[in-house]
Amino acid sequence: MTRSARWIVFWLGAGGVGTLIVLALLRMPSFGGLVHPYRDLAVPAAVGRSSPNIVSSINFDQRALDTLGEETILLGSVVGAATLLRPSKDEQELLDRDEGRVLEATKLLGYLLLPVTLIVGADVVFHGHLTPGGGFQGGVVLATAVHLLYVAGSYRLLRRLRPKSWYQVAEAVAAGAFVVLGLVGLLLTGAFLANVFPHGVLGDLFSAGTVFFLNAAVGAEVTSGVVVLLSAFLAQALSVREVS
């Protein structure tokens, strides 16, 4: 294809997409309007199943199948990245004896923040059906907390206290648990990922039925996934060397 032909194809495509976007924008409801048909259906459905956080109810109950898709995408990308980043045949892991010095202030702050971050992460995961947050957000916080060991301590310390294989297993088990919870719904009610557990009292920690358990499963999967991902990146950047 010649250069000018490529431009013609590009402008045809760009013109079509541009026209469609403008047409779509013209029909959009105005910003911050008062008519929200989806809200009017989602809020009663969520509150009816004891989940004050409507977003979690949509993610893990009303549209839980979409979340399963997203979790699978995350699992797939972590597996893909970890596969690409593993040491090749002519590479070897070598740990430096001397890792430099960490400022005392950084050490103090890191070790003070480590338990705090772990608690905040767990709180965000397990109160996902009550307050903003959930398995995904809390999981990322938990994974970040683990890496404070590297910021405040050393890479050796992080490697010793973070057995990679545990996280690899935990990620697979948690992703499987999501599907198993879905199958339980299928067996009991005939609908995959149906909210089958007792809904409990609105506002209680153990309420909202399946939403609580799916949040916990996603929390475990995201924590393990991010830890596995970052461990592969850290290994490549810090310890994997080419050997000839």
Partner 1 sequence: MTPLLVVAFLLVAAGATVVVLTREPGRQAVTLSVYGVLLTLLFVLLQAPDVALSQVAVGSAVVPLMVLLAVRKVRGGKR
Which residues would be at the binding site for partner 1 (CB under 8 A)?
Answer: 31-32, 53, 55-56, 96, 124, 132-134, 136-137, 140-141, 143-144, 226, 229-230, 233-234, 236-237, 241
Q: Rounded to an integer, what distance in angstroms lies between the CA atom of residue 205 and that of residue 217?
A: 16
CB of 144 to partner 1, least distance (A): 6
Nearest CA-CA partner of 217 in 175, 186, 182: 175
Nearer to partner 1 among residue 106 and residue 137 (C-beta):
137
CB of 203 to partner 1, least distance (A): 18
Nearer to partner 1 among residue 98 and residue 104 (C-beta):
98
CB of 83 to partner 1, least distance (A): 16
CB of 237 to partner 1, least distance (A): 4
Nearer to partner 1 among residue 143 and residue 181 (C-beta):
143
Nearer to partner 1 among residue 110 and residue 134 (C-beta):
134
Q: Which long-range contacts (CB under 8 A, 24 or more apart) does 82-86 make?
A: 82/228, 82/229, 82/232, 85/232, 85/233, 85/235, 85/236, 86/232
Residues ≥6 apart with Cβ < 8 Å to 180: none
- Phi (first) and psi of residue 14, to 5 degrees: -65, -40
Nearest CA-CA partner of 71 in 175, 172, 157, 153: 175
CB of 138 to partner 1, least distance (A): 8
Q: Which amino acid is at 204?
A: D
Angle (CA) 55-60-61 rounded to 5° is 95
Nearer to partner 1 among residue 19 and residue 88 (C-beta):
88
